[in-house]
Amino acid sequence: MLLGGIEAGGTKMVLAVGDENGNIFEKATIPTDTPDVSVPKMIDFFKGKGIEALGIGCFGPVDLHRGSKTFGYITTTPKPKWGNFDFAGAFREALNIPVGFDLDVNAAMLGEVTWGAAQGCESAIYITIGTGVGVGVWVNGKLLHGLIHPEAGHMILNRHPEDPYPGHCPFHGNCLEGMAAGPAVEERWGKKGFDLADNPKVWEIESYYIAQAITNFIFCYSPEKVIVWGGVMHQEQMFPMIRAQVKEMLNGYLNAPIINDHIEDYIIAPGLGDEPGIKGALRLAWEELQA
- Written as tens digits, the pLDDT of the chain (291 aa) is 999 999 998 889 999 999 999 999 999 999 999 999 999 999 999 999 999 999 999 998 899 999 999 999 999 887 889 999 999 999 999 999 999 999 999 999 999 999 999 999 999 999 999 989 999 999 999 999 988 888 899 999 999 999 999 999 988 889 999 999 999 999 999 999 999 999 999 999 999 999 999 999 999 999 999 999 999 999 989 999 999 999 999 999 999 999 999 999 999 999 999 999 999 999 999 999 998
The answer to whether position 113 is within a domain reads no
With 0.75 as the threshold, say if the pTM is over it.
yes
The answer to whether position 115 is within a domain reads no
**Do residues 8 and 90 both lie within one domain?**
yes
Residue type, 199: N
The answer to whether position 112 is within a domain reads no
CATH no. for residue 151?
A: 3.30.420.40
Report helix, strand or coil for 25: strand
Dist. CA 225–CA 216, nearest whole Å: 14
**Do residues 129 and 57 both lie within one domain?**
no
Residue 284: which domain range? 3-106+274-290
Residue 142's closest CA among 117, 114, 116?
Answer: 114
**Do residues 36 and 91 both lie within one domain?**
yes
**Do residues 286 and 208 both lie within one domain?**
no
Q: How far is CA 67 from each of CA 107, 133, 283, 284, rounded to the nearest angstrom?
A: 20, 28, 22, 18
**Do residues 257 and 165 both lie within one domain?**
yes
Domain count, the chain: 2
Chain mean position to CA 149: 12
Q: Is there a cis peptide before residue 61, judged by omega within 30 degrees of 0?
A: yes
**Do residues 68 and 136 both lie within one domain?**
no
**Do residues 152 and 181 both lie within one domain?**
yes
**Do residues 98 and 187 both lie within one domain?**
no
**Do residues 8 and 100 both lie within one domain?**
yes
**Do residues 203 and 128 both lie within one domain?**
yes
Per-residue buried b or exposed e for 233-249, using 16+ beta carbons within 10 Å of the residue's own CB: bebeebbebbbebbbeb
The answer to whether position 114 is within a domain reads no
**Do residues 181 and 150 both lie within one domain?**
yes
Q: Which helix (H) or strand (E) holds 139?
A: strand 133-139
**Do residues 96 and 130 both lie within one domain?**
no
The answer to whether position 111 is within a domain reads no
The answer to whether position 101 is within a domain reads yes
For 215, residues 6+ apart whose C-beta sits below 8 A from its C-beta are 246, 249, 250
